Amino acid sequence: MTIANSIFTGTLGGLILHALYAMLSQNAVLGRGLGSSRMTKLVNDEDGDAGVFCVLLFVVQVLSGALSWLAGQTVLPLLGAARVHLRPLVLVLCISVVFFFLFLVVVRLFPTEAARRVARQLPIAAFNCSVLGTLLLMGNQSYDFLQTLAFSAGSAIGYMLALLMMIEGNRKLKRADLPESFRGLPSTLVYLGILSLLIYAFTGHGLSV
């Protein structure tokens, strides 16, 4: 009990709570619908590259989160009133820097075939509504550097968990006796909707009928 108390009242505890907050109640896909177009594609992906996508998404999200925090401290204040309109551009530039860095790392470190596979997933993971949406959310919350990292990591893990649930659900839906027009995207969306309502109820909301 004492150890648990010290964890949840200290800095580490705060960071874990930020990560959990991003993972569950602020889940990018199930709580806000961010990256849902990409997820419906990944769920029906026959190549099995969803794992590579998840790892890349995590790295891109954390690194661009760190860069966007720096940009928020240095570049954005210089833009004055125009920063409302230019913020997405600054954040996209942060993501682009991470994209180029990871591209170089992948080309240098991985053997040719694996590098090709990773490089194919890299733009899909980097230029994603979920990544940009999380960066915008963190900017609105005025987090410090460590909180930014924790929230970024939590958001990426939340996306992964949602994707895992969707892949498993989709596997079962494929075996189910569904009408032809409901197969694929429509059944995936209905399942996503049920999970999203579940998260909504889980965070203490209810319907005012």
Partner 1 sequence: MIDKLRGYYAINRDVLENRDRIFLNNPVVMQGMGLVPIVAVSNTLRDACIMGLAVLLLLTPTRIVAAFLSRSTHFRFRAVAYSVTSALIYALVSWLIVDVFKLPTQAIGLYLPVLVLEPLIIKRYARTGTERMGNATTKGLITTVGFLLVMFLTAACRELLGAGTFFGIRVFANAPVPYLYFLGGGFIFVGVFIALWRNLVQIFKEGAKKA
> Cβ(150)–Cβ(19) under 8 Å?
yes
Q: With binding defined as CB under 8 A, does residue 141 bind partner 1?
A: no
Q: What are phi and psi of 196, to 5 degrees?
A: -65, -40
State which residue, 7 or 93, has the beta carbon closest to partner 1.
93
Q: With binding defined as CB under 8 A, does residue 18 bind partner 1?
A: no
Nearest-angstrom CA–CA distance, 138 and 64: 11
Nearest-angstrom CA–CA distance, 23 and 161: 8
State which residue, 37 or 73, has the beta carbon closest to partner 1.
37
Binding residue (CB under 8 A) for partner 1 from 71, 87, 98, 173? 87
> Cβ(173)–Cβ(152) under 8 Å?
no
Show the tokens assigned to 129: 């509504």
For residue 22, the minimal CB distance to partner 1 (Å) is: 14
Nearest-angstrom CA–CA distance, 103 and 101: 5
Which parts of 22-41 interact with partner 1 (CB under 8 A)? Answer: 31-38, 40-41
What are the residues binding partner 1 (CB under 8 A)? 31-38, 40-41, 82, 84-89, 91-93, 95-96, 99-100, 103, 119, 123-124, 126-129, 131-133, 136-137, 140, 179-182, 185-190, 192-200, 207-209
